[in-house]
Amino acid sequence: MTDSLAPLAKPPFSSAVEALEELMSHSGRAFLMGAGCSLCAGLPLTVSLTEEVLNNPSLKDLTKDILSVLTKQFEGSTSATIEDYMSELVDLLAIAERRKERCATCSTVNLGGKEYEVSDLQEALNQIKEAIAKSFETKKVNISTHWQFIKAVHRTLRTGKTGNAKPVNYLVLNYDTLIEDALALEKLPYADGFVGGVTGWWDETSFSLEGLAARVFKVHGSIDWCELNEETLPFRIRPSLTLPTGSKRRVLIWPAATKYRETQRDPYAQIAAKMRQELRPSQTSEVILTICGYRFGDSHINIELDRALHESGEALTLLVFTEQNKPEGQLKEWLDNSKIRDQVRVHAKRGFSHGSTFAVSDEELPWWKFENLTRLLGGERW
């Protein structure tokens, strides 16, 4: 059932919607999109994805044993997900690799009373990533909302506007390809770091091509990214493609809490550098970053946003759409900081914050949902 936008007709929320349209007319636009944006397409949130992966029958006993121990180590947590388990596994793998590189007598890692070698941990990590990719690939995906979102973002918002010369930047935390697919369906030229076709290879210079309408930065990788043999940069390879005998293909995704060592590897490091550059506009321009479907659970992303707010010379504005009833955690910290709070506008489930003020609503404000934000960007009103 479609949500009513009527609660947004009351001031000051109606004024916030009007300001949204005005802000969307700026040339420097970017969107940070989390897992909540993919829910309406039929893809699982991280909690559901965790259950699917843990119960995947294709996992080998070795991987099941490792996951069993990792889940027990998070007992008591109400928010631990498959990304936390992967992050833990990445940490253990780094320890084992370091010991092996230094020719230590003990180059294994003890987990649940068993010793695991580098190859064991790497195999388990690869299998988990494959299970995540399969979970996405087997879903029937409805792209209608994302297609409407792309149409809305790239339309002329006001009469007389001729459009924006600068490409829109999409900072995507999800592993799916909904944004890329929607851009293609709308026939908008975009760069995602690859050149080629359905099968492509990584080329950072593609982000600098002329005539782009959009750039897509997959901050945590993608289900169609693969490491091939000993190559250090990824390929985009469709799952149905059979490679020559002996070729090794590994799904290339990073859990949200990957550690410093992982984030220095390309293409992650290249993407992070591009993201930092785009969030720090020159003195003659500004950037409006709209954040939706993100719960601020990734410390790396939060740090990048925090630094950008402080280092942008007030040229960066955050438009946050959140399921929180009121700003909490990272959002509250920003709004409590007099130096940057005027750069943050929080559209919460039960109110609106900008600077030092918070207007409370006695009913739920539907703008926190990605599909309703899409409607607002498309010009629909109450």
- Per-position pLDDT tens, the chain of length 382: 799 999 999 999 999 999 999 999 888 999 999 999 999 999 988 889 999 999 999 999 999 999 999 999 999 998 899 989 999 999 999 999 999 999 999 999 999 999 999 999 999 999 999 999 989 888 899 999 999 999 999 985 444 454 457 899 999 999 999 999 999 999 999 999 999 988 999 999 999 999 999 999 999 999 889 988 878 899 998 777 888 876 767 788 877 655 445 556 788 889 999 999 999 987 678 999 999 999 998 888 999 999 999 999 899 999 999 999 999 999 999 999 999 999 999 999 999 999 899 999 999 999 999 999 999 999 999 9
Q: Is the dihedral of CA 165, 16, 343, 364 positive or negative?
A: negative
339 burial (CB, 10 Å; 0-12 / 13-18 / 19+) is exposed
Domain final residue, candidates 137, 158, 178 = 137
Domain shared by 190 and 129, yes or no:
no
Instruction: Decide if 119 is inside a domain.
Output: yes
Q: What is the pLDDT of residue 274?
A: 92
Domain shared by 53 and 168, yes or no:
no
Tokens of 179: 């944004």
User: 316-321 and 344-348: which strand pairing?
Assistant: parallel
Domain shared by 263 and 325, yes or no:
yes
Domain final residue, candidates 105, 137, 169 = 137
Domain shared by 18 and 129, yes or no:
no
Domain final residue, candidates 113, 137, 161 = 137
Domain shared by 217 and 325, yes or no:
yes
Nearest to 207 by CA among 219, 224, 222, 190: 190
Q: Residue 286: left if φ>0, alpha if ψ -120 to 50, beta else—which one?
A: beta
Domain shared by 205 and 338, yes or no:
yes
Q: What is the pLDDT of residue 244?
A: 81
Domain shared by 157 and 99, yes or no:
no
Domain shared by 258 and 362, yes or no:
yes
As for how many domains the chain has, the answer is: 2
Domain shared by 198 and 300, yes or no:
yes
d(CA 5, CA 9) in angstroms, rounded, equals 7
pTM summary value: 0.91
Strand partners, 215: 169, 191
Domain shared by 50 and 197, yes or no:
no
**What phi and psi, each to the nearest 5 degrees, are found at residue 79?**
-125, 0
Instruction: Decide if 233 is inside a domain.
Output: no
Residue 367 near residue 345 (C-beta atoms within 8 A): no
| Domain carrying residue 13 | 6-43+141-223+254-377
Instruction: Decide if 244 is inside a domain.
Output: no
Instruction: Decide if 67 is inside a domain.
Output: yes
Strand partners, 201: 195, 235
Tokens of 309: 């707010």
Domain shared by 265 and 214, yes or no:
yes
SS (H, E, C) the chain: CCCCCHHHHCCCHHHHHHHHHHHCCCCCEEEEECHHHCHHHCCCCHHHHHHHHHCCCCCCHHHHHHHHHHHHHCCCCCCCCHHHHHHHHHHHHHHHHHHHHCCCCCCCEEECCEEECHHHHHHHHHHHHHHHHHHHHCCCCCCHHHHHHHHHHCCCCCCCCCCCCCCEEEEECCCCCHHHHHHHHCCCCEECCEEECCCEEECHHHHHCCCCCEEEEECCEEEEEEEECCCCCCEECCCCCCCCCCCCEEEEECCCCCCHHHHCCCCHHHHHHHHHHHCCCCCCCCEEEEEECCCCCCHHHHHHHHHHHHHCCCCEEEEEECCCCCCCCHHHHHHHCCCCHHHEEEEECCEEEECCEEEECCCCCHHHCHHHHHHHHCCCCC
**CATH code for the domain of 271:** 3.40.50.1220
Instruction: Decide if 382 is inside a domain.
Output: no
Q: What is the pLDDT of residue 261?
A: 54
Instruction: Decide if 130 is inside a domain.
Output: yes
Instruction: Decide if 276 is inside a domain.
Output: yes
Q: What is the pLDDT of residue 123?
A: 95
Instruction: Decide if 176 is inside a domain.
Output: yes
Give the length of the chain: 382
Domain shared by 361 and 290, yes or no:
yes
d(CA 51, CA 303) in angstroms, rounded, equals 29
Residue 331: which residues within 8 A CB-CB, separation 6 or more? 296, 320, 322, 324, 344, 346, 353
